[in-house]
Amino acid sequence: MADIGYLVLLFYLIGGFVAVYSNCSNGWIRNDDSCYLFVDLHRKTWLQAKSDCEARNSHLVVIESKAENDFVKNQLAKLHPGTEDQFWTAGNDLVTENNWVWGNTSDIFEVSFWHPGEPNQSAGEEDCLTFYTRYRFDWNDEHCNKPMPYICEVEDYIDSGSIIG
Ligand SMILES: [Ca+2]
Ligand SMILES: [Ca+2]
Ligand SMILES: [Ca+2]
């Protein structure tokens, strides 16, 4: 009986461990191998938003597929943001104009979902990428110093199997 009790205990311990690491934190929403946080109460500039995501052990959202883009658009629609609201992503062309990359990396876009006519580098200084409510959440390039809502993403290392190596 003692052995069986031990096995049962072990089972629950392992189960609890997996549950903790495969669930998203409170307030974060799962999609595929990532958890996402939609921050619409605290508006920040692109740099401030980037720092805030990093303080939460995550990064501004990086869109790698149409499925991921559709997920984000659906979540934004549920938030019912104001017409002029835009949400920061990691996308930017800060280093080289019109050379769009994700975050600080040199990872170029595998897919893109710009609104027709965007990116337009309006007033010669739009270097950060948003989901724009007015465009039904198509992408827009925007002035990086405007305070906006933003989206953080963290990959789930257990599910993606990338915790080792
Ligand atoms: Ca992603
Ligand atoms: Ca630009
Ligand atoms: Ca623009």
The sign of the dihedral angle between the CA atoms of 71, 37, 33, 9 is negative
Q: Given this model, what pLDDT does residue 120 score?
A: 98
Q: Which ligand number lies closest to the CA of residue 144?
A: 2
Sign of CA dihedral 117, 148, 137, 109: positive
Ligand lying closest to the C-alpha of residue 126: 2
Its pTM stands at 0.82
> What domains sit in the chain, N to C, each tagged with a CATH number?
2-160 (3.10.100.10)
CA 26 to ligand 1 center in whole angstroms: 19
Q: How far is the CA of 7 from the centre of ligand 1 (A)?
A: 38
CA of 63 to the centre of ligand 1 (A): 5
Give the residue among 131, 157, 161, 165 at the shortest CA–CA distance from 24. Answer: 157
pLDDT of residue 8: 59
For residue 64, report the distance from its CA to the centre of ligand 1, in Å: 5
Ranges of the chain whose pLDDT falls below 70: 1-22, 104, 157-165
- Ligand closest to 125 (CA) is 2
| pLDDT at residue 162, as a whole number | 43
Among the bound ligands, the one closest to the CA of 141: 3
Proximal ligand: closest to the CA of 153: 1
| Closest ligand to Cα 35 | 1
In contact, 69 and 63? CB cutoff 8 Å: yes
| Structure confidence at residue 146 (pLDDT) | 97
